[in-house]
Amino acid sequence: MAFPISESTPVKYPGPLPAQCDVVVLGGGIIGVMTAWHLAERGFSVTLCEKGRIAGEQSSRNWGWIRQQGRDLAELPIMMEALELWKALSKECGRGLGFRQEGVLYLARSHAEMAGFEDWMVQARGLGLDVGLQSSGQVHDRIKGAAVQWVGGLFTASDARAEPWVAVPMLAAGAVRRGAVIVENCAVRALDRVGGRVAGVVTELGRIACGQVVVAGGAWSSMFLRREGVRIPQLAVLASVAQTQPMAEVFGGGAADDRFAFRRRVDGGYTIAPGSAHDFYLGPDAFRNLATYLPTFVKDFRKTKLRLAAPAGYPDAWGTARKWAADQVSPFERIRVLNPAPNMSALARVQDEFARALPELGRPEIKAAWGGMIDTLPDVVPVVGRVAAVPGLVIATGMCGHGFGIGPAYGRIVADLVAGADVGHDLTRFRLSRFSDGSKLVPGPTI
């Protein structure tokens, strides 16, 4: 399969659409795929509807890190479960998944950064994570030939990596083997409700009767939910990523400082990206949610490049429709796959930083570059849970760039939510009602 996945990528799962099932999942990213996987394992008849292609958007466009390190502490136990699930998935799917446990290393250029690392480490160790501080000498022992005088670092040896654009389609195939039905090029336009509760969905290909629906639509989730009277303050930022030509290995895992990040790839190159910078398109939802996002924006404004308008048809573009009837073409059908152009200037700076840090390797040659729209929420943690106002509706969205690594565990959790079983974790921090019950939103860690 060629990358990046786009609207020209051949459809692998054309249908047909079933007339009914127990559960419909909206969205073919890793959260939706793993939810379908676990539901099918539990004996539910489940249909996953993807408006474009499996893993077409952020689930194939991320860095490929399977990272416990730096997680919100409420998410860390879930991420630790996810790592164990990745190990099992690797045994089933084989080495093609790209799963390797080579560790994640955060690099500090200042003692203030090291203090932040230490604060988080103390709390994470209390939850059983194998994380430790690294001296400057230890950092340079791990990254061979480094020229930057990092003052130290934070290292979690059990953290891992995989190849996203290969892995997620492989996991989709695993869900199908378990009995899940996947239909690509099939946008869900609306819920069908009877007496206020979910009775089915209306798709562009017809109606599916079902008793429960899971919304795992990534950057498109808030648009779908708003039509159904459910509001979440979700926005999306543009992240730019590149793949280098093969180069010598200086570190087998993932590493990042505040200027650039790199991750070893199974093809012998590196995935490289800005350490924390991103682009943000101004649109109606951005202004609507300005007050909610202000604390996060003030903290991160130096890392954000503002753009006046998103490309036509994007979720928060000025001309994108916010209302449509169930028998009308929806915005989800007008853009099957978000495929934004990367910020090549930002990637050129990453090439320069890479060369300064690793002069023996030199300036990396870019083999491919791409952009992805990361869906985010103001406290940098997702919404995972039932919607009290709409019986039968479950939300799993707003993964804030953290979804690839944690996806297998959230899939398991959402499947248990649907089944009415004990999810095994405290989901209070991820509840939908935090945006309406007067709670103070506390942003997650940015280390």
Helix (H) or strand (E) holding 134: strand 131-135
Question: pLDDT at position 280, please?
Answer: 93
Q: Are 187 and 330 in contact (CB under 8 A)?
A: yes
Question: pLDDT at position 447, please?
Answer: 72
Q: Is residue 440 part of a domain?
A: no
Total of domains in the chain? 1
Q: Residues 80-97: pLDDT tens digits?
A: 999 999 999 999 999 999
Q: Is residue 10 part of a domain?
A: no
In the sheet with 212-215, reading across from the earlier edge strand, the strands are 181-183, 46-49, 23-26, 212-215, 393-397, 383-386
* Whole-number Å distance between alpha carbons of 114 and 135: 10
Q: Is residue 9 part of a domain?
A: no
Question: pLDDT at position 301, please?
Answer: 66
Q: How far is CA 147 from CA 177, 354, 358, in A?
A: 49, 10, 6
Q: Global pTM?
A: 0.97
Check which CATH number belongs to the domain holding 81 and give it: 3.50.50.60
> What's the distance, CA 80 to chain centroid?
16
Question: pLDDT at position 42, please?
Answer: 98
Q: Is residue 268 part of a domain?
A: yes
Q: Are 380 and 443 in contact (CB under 8 A)?
A: yes
Backbone angles phi, psi at 253, to 5 degrees: -105, -145
Q: Is residue 16 part of a domain?
A: no
Dihedral angle at the C-alpha atoms of 85, 86, 88, 93, nearest 10 degrees? 140
Q: Is residue 443 part of a domain?
A: no
Domain with 159 in it: 23-435
Q: Residues 261-316: pLDDT tens digits?
A: 999 999 999 999 998 888 999 999 999 998 898 877 766 667 789 999 999 999 99
Q: Token pair of 137, please? A: 């000498």
Tell me the H-state helices in 306-402. Answer: 331-334, 344-357
Question: pLDDT at position 55, please?
Answer: 97
Phi-psi map region of 378: left, alpha, beta (phi>0 left; psi -120 to 50 alpha): alpha
Report, as ranges of residue numbers, the positions in the chain whose pLDDT lies below 50: none
Question: pLDDT at position 28, please?
Answer: 98
Backbone angles phi, psi at 2, to 5 degrees: -75, 150
Q: Residues 24-59: pLDDT tens digits?
A: 999 999 999 999 999 999 999 999 999 999 999 999
**DSSP, res 428:** G
Q: Over pLDDT 70: what percentage of the chain?
A: 98
* Whole-number Å distance between alpha carbons of 211 and 232: 23
Q: Is residue 98 part of a domain?
A: yes
Q: Is residue 11 part of a domain?
A: no
